[in-house]
């Protein structure tokens, strides 16, 4: 066996010269390179909208956005998609003509102290409010309007799920009370479109107090003998279901809307924990 040193000397393969210069870039040639600049000037580039298609949550089919808007955000299967307060009021209130969008007077809702508990879970509550306001363009989850619905003057209050899950907090409670008292002043019905994932945990007990306060506002409507109508939209859960969402004189619900107190995941986890505790007790 030859030593390694002898093997190195026997290797007479030529070595390439070392260089730091990259390989020369190959220039495109031919007839295509000559006409490319002229063609690029003729082509009108248009950006494709990101939300051109919307997925049907029931069938999984893709629906053209303009067709869905023309159908007032109702899918071919009858599912009522989630919409914001402006669209909801535009579809609800009467317009100057039957085909025109609705016209209404915006009800100014009062402002409340922000972040009274100085809550933070890695991000401050104040910062989350700023993000939600920038995303939705709304001050909080409630938006109110006054106008005519089928020729009848009404106060309409819309709860926006896009704003922090439509959570019930001090601002939502004050908005409900303001809308109820506005309806009493105008002697007209109050119509509320509910959509919420529960109470706003960042406000603690102050959020839970709104369940009782909104209930008292409904009692004021009843004393004035004014109708209170509730339209349950997807989803209506938690403390909203346990208070003003179930105290209406008339209840309507959109097809396919999730209406419950605790969501499916909470129920599944609670049921599994109880089953596990029962198994342990039987084992003892």
Q: What is the mean pLDDT of residues 169-183?
A: 98
pTM for the predicted model, two decimal places: 0.77
Maximum alpha-carbon separation in the chain: 110
pLDDT reported for residue 68: 93
**What backbone torsions phi and psi does residue 3 show, to the nearest 5 degrees?**
-65, 160
Phi first, then psi, for residue 227 (nearest 5°) are -65, 145
Mean pLDDT score of the chain, rounded to an integer?
85
Beta bridge pairs of residue 99: none
What pLDDT does 98 receive?
86
Buried b (16+ CB within 10 A) or exposed e, 101-114: ebebeebebeebee
Q: Which residue has the tokens 């409630």?
A: 142
Does residue 110 have a pLDDT over 80? Answer: yes
Sign of the torsion formed by the C-alpha atoms of 163, 166, 170 and 171: positive
What 56-62 contacts at long range (C-beta under 8 Å, 24+ apart), as own/partner pairs, is: 57/81, 58/256
Instruction: State the pairing for strand pair 190-196/250-253.
Output: unpaired
Q: Measure the CA–CA gap between 28 and 277, rounded to whole angstroms.
A: 73
The residue that leads in pLDDT, 7 or 279, is 279
**Direct distance between the N- and C-terminal alpha carbons of the chain, in angstroms, rounded to an integer:** 76
Span 80-106, average pLDDT = 94
Question: What does the alpha-carbon distance between residue 218 and residue 211 come to, in Å, rounded to a whole number?
Answer: 11
pLDDT at 263 over 70: no
pLDDT of residue 9: 47
pLDDT at 269 > cutoff 90: no
Half-sphere exposure of 95 (CA within 13 A, CB side): 10
31: pLDDT confidence band, cut at 50, 70 and 90? low
């Amino acid at each position: 066996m030859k030593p390694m040193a002898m093997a190195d000397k026997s290797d007479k393969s030529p070595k390439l010269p070392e260089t730091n210069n990259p390989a020369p870039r190959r220039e495109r040639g031919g007839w295509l390179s000559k006409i490319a600049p002229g063609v690029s000037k003729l082509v009108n580039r248009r950006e494709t909208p990101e939300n051109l298609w919307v997925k049907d949550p029931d069938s999984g089919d893709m629906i053209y956005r303009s067709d869905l808007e023309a159908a007032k955000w109702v899918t071919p299967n009858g599912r009522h998609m989630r919409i914001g307060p402006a669209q909801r009021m535009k579809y609800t209130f009467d317009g100057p003509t039957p085909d025109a969008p609705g016209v209404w007077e915006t009800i100014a809702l009062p402002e409340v102290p922000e972040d009274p508990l100085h809550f933070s879970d890695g991000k401050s509550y104040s910062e989350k409010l700023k993000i939600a306001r920038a995303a939705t363009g709304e001050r909080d989850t409630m938006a109110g309007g006054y106008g005519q619905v089928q020729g009848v003057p009404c106060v309409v209050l819309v709860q926006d799920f896009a704003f922090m899950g439509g959570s019930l907090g001090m601002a939502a409670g004050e908005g409900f009370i303001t809308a109820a008292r506005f309806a009493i002043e105008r002697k007209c019905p109050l119509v509320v479109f509910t959509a919420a994932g529960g109470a706003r945990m960042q406000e603690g007990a102050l959020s839970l107090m709104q369940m009782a306060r909104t209930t008292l506002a409904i009692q004021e409507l009843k004393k004035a003998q004014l109708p209170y109508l509730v339209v349950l939209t997807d989803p209506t859960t938690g403390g909203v279901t346990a208070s003003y969402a179930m105290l209406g004189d008339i209840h309507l619900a959109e097809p396919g809307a999730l209406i419950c107190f605790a969501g499916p995941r909470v129920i599944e986890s609670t049921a599994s924990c109880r089953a596990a505790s029962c198994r342990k007790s039987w084992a003892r």
